Structure 1
Amino acid sequence: MSTHWDHSYDVVSVGSGGGGLVAALAARDAGGTALVLEKRDLLGGSTAMSGGVVWIPNNPLMQDEGVPDSDEAGMQYFEATVGDVGPASTVERRRAFITEGAAMTRFLTGLGVRLVRCPGYSDYYSDQPGGSAEGRSMEPPPYDGKQLGPWLAKVQPGMAAGIGLVVKTNELRDVQYFNRSLRSFLIAARVQARTTIAKVTGRRLLTNGTALVAQMVKAAADRDVELWTGAAFTEFVVEDGRVTGVEVVKDGARLLIEARRGVVVAAGGFAHNKALRERYSGDQKVTGEWSFANPGDTGDAIEAALRLGAATDLLDEAWWLPGPSPLLGVNTLNAARNRPGAIIVDASGSRFVNESNSYVEVGKAMFARDKTARAVPAWVVFDEGYRRRYAHRRSLNVGKIPAEWLAKGLVKKADTLEDLAGICGIDAAGLTAQVKRWNSYAEKGEDPDYGRGRSAYNDCLGDPGYRINPSVGPLTEGPYYAFELFPADVGTCGGLVGDEHGRVLREDGAPIPGLYATGNGTATVTGRHYLGAGASIAYSMVYGYISARHAMASGS
């Protein structure tokens, strides 16, 4: 008995972030019809909320500007950093990501989606074989949202909305140091001028992930891709062992939607599904209480695919983003670990990680350390010199720690390290010994214990105005300060296992016909590491592109 379909398309994308939008655009370009489903009222998902950066080795922008790189260097970098993590990151999947990533970039720019390089935004493991100190990341330039017409109101606001500046993600590295170097001051001035001019002229300039999504929404709308909001996926429709469509609920009605060529799941992970996180978190135990992920990250499509026998992997992993208490509101304290005059310690007062490394790396180190000494939460400790050098809120008030932070105990303060340790519940002898050791090397810009300040990535996020080493400096001047550091995340990054074509695989390695997946709901090609700024967004987009093209080429 055949299914009675309410609507029929060639490709259906479940999720409206970068992966879902690129899949729909690729299907349309191949001559098919496409539908994008979004259960929330706003389009864009995690991509819109992100910095909108896209990391692809040897990408066309690098090639056009003569920046040295190659596919083989990218593969070497994968091998050196990711290693063997099983089927999520096979050689075939890595190579497809790199080669098709370049093709996807050309495809999007051909549709009018503008991207610019992020010069100097180094790979996160830039000192590893194949790593790039210059960086492989791209991002959208400011985009006038008025070009979207009525669709503008349907796009998820991004991180710039909370900052109040028309600022590109790569510019944020300098804006925070506007008072520390001439270069940073000039970049900050440019951002402020851009913001002011946009307000005066009435332009709705979008940046970061919002600008990336807005451009793809515009391209989709112009090409008759259907975009549905408030359409919640509930189940896959299977006929004769093949996924042929999806069941959704929209406006209270149950609808069956045919996907003649394939369904591409790009619905994010399960960051806000407490039951799944408790079940799968392993040694990195969280329930989502510190997650900043898209509110739609509830794992509905993952659970539905599991009912079809889909294989999964890396379910205990997430894109960790350690940060202070959200009660602080908008602040710059999450950048403290990259700056001289600050260290991260556990309850014994000891350091346990290169604080300036990838945020994912630091988050994982917190969980690992917590097995032997309490490090969830950990503590960030800094001195008076640090306090004077930086703005602690996103403002021009350099050196001012809000009185309410101190009054509420969100930031602790004491005249001596011993007293600070007592307030925080840190071992006093351990903390004073650690700071003494740290200072003995930091005065020379060195960190023999964890190598902080040795890589281009450590440098690119450090203080450009600090002598000797941008990310390494001693804590020598009281009073001293501390705040708790929690292992927050911006989404999970484990889930369905796919092949180099994006097809979802069963436990026996066979593909589930008609079902594809990408993004944070899958076991990512970058494994347990974040390789560079925009690696997760790039993976979602590239495998959305790969999936749709394979579906359209395979026939119904």
Structure 2
Amino acid sequence: MQASTFPNLSANVDVVVVGSGIAGLTAAVVARALGRRVLLLEKTAQVGGTSATSGGAAWLPGNRHVPAETDPEAPMTYLAHLVGERMDAAQVRAWLEGGIEAVDFLEQHSSVRFRLYGGADYRTDVPGAGIKGRTVYPEPFDDRQLGKAYKLIKNPLPAITVFHGMQTDSRDLAQLSAALQSPGAFLYSARRLFKHYSDLLLYGRSTRRQRGNALIGMLLKSALDSGVDLRVNAPFIRLIQDAGRVSGVVFEENGVRQEVRAGAVVLASGGFSGDPVMRAAHTAYAAEHIGLPPESNVGDGLRRAMDVGGRMAQGNVSDYCRAPVSVLRRKNGEVVKHPHFRLDRCKPGAIVVDAHGRRFVNEACSYHDFVMAMHAAGAVPAYLIGDQRFLRKYGIGLVRPFPFPYRSFVREGYLVQAPTLAALAEKLGIDAAGLQASVERLNGYARTGVDLEFRKGADIYSRGDGDPAHGPNPCLGEIAQGPFYAVRLYPGDSSTTCGLVTDTHARVLDADNAPIPGLYACGVDMNNPSLGTHPAAGCNLGPAIAFAYRAARHIVDSAGTPSAASQNAKPARAKSEWTGAGAAATLD
């Protein structure tokens, strides 16, 4: 195939990266920092993918931001107990060691800055679990540093912003919630709100990016400043293979197919969450399953890797990072999805039941384990219920706590309201006697502080997501003050975890477990080393960063000293001048 190129695109580069989430951007930034010419392809008009809408947390034990471990082997012990004999110890070791190196490298050679996320691992009943925190997430990022290129960043989910698009992190949420109880929290909240609304007046947006959006912003700045050649609206078509070695890609730009040769290709295209055919093959309740990642994540990288001999992993505990999701369907056709990670169901005064009105899970367990329990109990949908006091204090799903209004959500059918529990059960179509009996038992547990059925609030992790000002158990409260409210919860996911089988360098392996020369995979295009057990916050982005770094290092180390042209390559376009040259995008 005759190559045709646009300005600034050579027919030959050192590395092609497919996908612009945190994994793809990390691989591109590291390879470029090590002197390689890098082409980064993104199929949509904006970068970030699932990562841009994520919490931005990365489980990377041992890095310099997290508390030192008394036992350095504790993270390995923890994962070994969770995953069992199927665990690939070498792969997990590469994750843990690569994560430490990746954090140091990125903070030394890019604009990325991390800080401690904190919080216990999800299974504190398992040997080796971390209590003080093994997870990091990004510092806030001022997107004015990007010039016009700020428009390239995919926006966060509207459901997890407040006050007309203000992004928040855990500190913001804690301070905003306590603004009327603490002078310090009030001053902090006032400063944040003043900055936010000043930004809206001056720039038409909030310039303070947080969580996954901040990390994408930092990586994008690093990529553009260093000369990574970024192409948006440039879907990946196929891999080029010569004598068994992957030696380039074919992609499409402005309706024209392009061919570019490369020493290596890194696949980080975002997994298959948006593909209904693959969903049906990888999860129960596929028809009810609601994916949070972009619908464009349809397994492009996975399929093209299988075309050249790669293979998908089998036998994971779960092929998704799962999360319960509620959905608002507006009359204009807009669909708003809300992930119930931790802000409502973990708080005192919440109960979740099945169609029989019975509890089936510790409401404050991890979001992944929550959906696994939904599957096991056949609770699809499930019903998250609270009373008037609970709604106004903590909110439910898309409904924010006082002083935010909530009646529009009732009118739109998202929030179901009734004067009594029996009337609420009738509206939901569930068993009224079962619901009333479940609430009566839970109210008794709230008074004693001990949940005899599901131990809500008995473990360190769930207590951390409760209300520390509430006693005797921060996760248990009575449900008694009508009217009563409910939202329907459906099984969903924040990403896939089943991907290509790779080695410790992120090289894609064939049916004989031999590396396919020149082909790498990271992010959720690579099978998660935890095999879908979901051990802690950030157990998707953690290996994504670690193996993106390891892939780039291996590509560079295998190729030897970079050419003078690669070392001296200048940025194709300055950050303030980036217009997507050669792509169907403009930032004017």
- Partner residue in 2 for 1:360: 368
2:271 aligned residue (248, 263, 269): 269
- Partner residue in 2 for 1:411: 415
Cα 1:215–1:426 shift into 2, 3 Å: same
Counterparts of 1:403 and 1:303 in 2: how far apart (Å)? 46
Instruction: Encode CA deviations 1:497-555: one digit per residue, 9 max, x unaligned.
Output: 11111011123222222111111223211222223222212221211111111122223
Instruction: Encode CA deviations 1:313-340: one digit per residue, 9 max, x unaligned.
Output: 2586222221222337587976321111
- Partner residue in 1 for 2:107: 109
Q: Following superposition of structure 1 onto structure 2, how do residues 198-347 of structure 1 map, counting pairs within 5 Å?
A: 198=199, 204-260=207-263, 262-278=264-280, 280-282=281-283, 284-287=284-287, 290-313=290-313, 317-327=319-329, 329=336, 335-347=343-355
Q: Give the drift of 1:19.
A: 0.9
**Is this contact kept in 1: 2:448–2:472, CA < 8 A?**
yes
* AA aligned opposite 1:195: H
**Is this contact kept in 2: 1:441–1:447, CA < 8 A?**
yes
* AA aligned opposite 2:455: G
2:464 aligned residue (460, 465, 472): 460
**Is this contact kept in 1: 2:75–2:129, CA < 8 A?**
yes
Counterparts of 1:171 and 1:124 in 2: how far apart (Å)? 20
**Deviates most, 390-399 or 134-143:** 390-399
Q: Following superposition of structure 1 onto structure 2, how do residues 390-409 of structure 1 map, counting pairs within 5 Å?
A: 390-391=394-395, 398=402, 402-409=406-413
Cα 1:538–1:244 shift into 2, 3 Å: same
**Secondary structure class of the residue paired with 1:546:** helix
CA RMSD of aligned residues (A): 2.8
Q: Give the drift of 1:349.
A: 1.4
**Is this contact kept in 1: 2:33–2:109, CA < 8 A?**
no
Cα 1:404–1:199 shift into 2, 3 Å: closer
2:381 aligned residue (364, 369, 377): 377
Counterparts of 1:180 and 1:331 in 2: how far apart (Å)? 26
**Deviates most, 490-499 or 388-397:** 388-397
Counterparts of 2:71 and 2:157 in 1: how far apart (Å)? 32
Cα 1:15–1:410 shift into 2, 3 Å: same
**Deviates most, 24-33 or 287-296:** 287-296
- Partner residue in 2 for 1:528: 532
Q: Give the drift of 1:67.
A: 4.6
**Deviates most, 219-228 or 190-199:** 190-199
Instruction: Encode CA deviations 1:441-485: one digit per residue, 9 max, x unaligned.
Output: 222222232221123321222223322222222223333222211
Q: Following superposition of structure 1 onto structure 2, how do residues 502-521 of structure 1 map, counting pairs within 5 Å?
A: 502-521=506-525
**Is this contact kept in 2: 1:274–1:288, CA < 8 A?**
no
1:139 aligned residue (122, 137, 140): 137
**Secondary structure class of the residue paired with 2:437:** helix
- Partner residue in 2 for 1:155: 153
Counterparts of 2:109 and 2:198 in 1: how far apart (Å)? 28
**Secondary structure class of the residue paired with 1:326:** strand
**Is this contact kept in 2: 1:332–1:392, CA < 8 A?**
no
**Is this contact kept in 2: 1:126–1:132, CA < 8 A?**
yes
**Is this contact kept in 2: 1:392–1:399, CA < 8 A?**
no
**Is this contact kept in 1: 2:327–2:338, CA < 8 A?**
no
Cα 1:188–1:508 shift into 2, 3 Å: farther
Counterparts of 2:350 and 2:180 in 1: how far apart (Å)? 17
Cα 1:343–1:190 shift into 2, 3 Å: farther
- Partner residue in 1 for 2:57: 53
- Partner residue in 2 for 1:83: 84
Counterparts of 1:431 and 1:393 in 2: how far apart (Å)? 20
* AA aligned opposite 2:291: S
**Secondary structure class of the residue paired with 2:136:** strand
Counterparts of 1:150 and 1:179 in 2: how far apart (Å)? 35
* AA aligned opposite 2:357: G
**Deviates most, 22-31 or 125-134:** 125-134
Instruction: Encode CA deviations 1:115-137: one digit per residue, 9 max, x unaligned.
Output: 34235433222443222222122
Cα 1:470–1:67 shift into 2, 3 Å: farther
Q: Give the drift of 1:68.
A: 4.0
Instruction: Encode CA deviations 1:97-142: one digit per residue, 9 max, x unaligned.
Output: 1111010001110124343423543322244322222212222222
Counterparts of 2:359 and 2:51 in 1: how far apart (Å)? 33
Cα 1:249–1:388 shift into 2, 3 Å: closer
* AA aligned opposite 2:82: T
Counterparts of 2:405 and 2:106 in 1: how far apart (Å)? 44
- Give me the TM-score of the superposition, normalised by structure 1: 0.89
**Is this contact kept in 2: 1:167–1:191, CA < 8 A?**
no
**Deviates most, 169-178 or 193-202:** 193-202
1:387 and 2:391 aligned: yes
Counterparts of 2:299 and 2:542 in 1: how far apart (Å)? 20
- Partner residue in 1 for 2:170: 170
Cα 1:396–1:386 shift into 2, 3 Å: closer
Identity of aligned residues (%): 32
Counterparts of 2:278 and 2:176 in 1: how far apart (Å)? 37
Counterparts of 2:144 and 2:291 in 1: how far apart (Å)? 32
**Is this contact kept in 2: 1:53–1:169, CA < 8 A?**
no
Counterparts of 1:196 and 1:404 in 2: how far apart (Å)? 24
- Partner residue in 1 for 2:75: 74
Counterparts of 1:189 and 1:462 in 2: how far apart (Å)? 25
**Secondary structure class of the residue paired with 1:338:** coil
* AA aligned opposite 1:320: R
**Deviates most, 163-172 or 93-102:** 163-172
Cα 1:401–1:446 shift into 2, 3 Å: farther
- Give me the TM-score of the superposition, normalised by structure 2: 0.85
Instruction: Encode CA deviations 1:333-382: one digit per residue, 9 max, x unaligned.
Output: 76321111111111111111111111111112111211xxxx11111121
Q: Give the drift of 1:199.
A: 5.0
**Secondary structure class of the residue paired with 1:217:** helix
* AA aligned opposite 1:146: R
**Is this contact kept in 2: 1:13–1:264, CA < 8 A?**
yes
Cα 1:330–1:401 shift into 2, 3 Å: farther
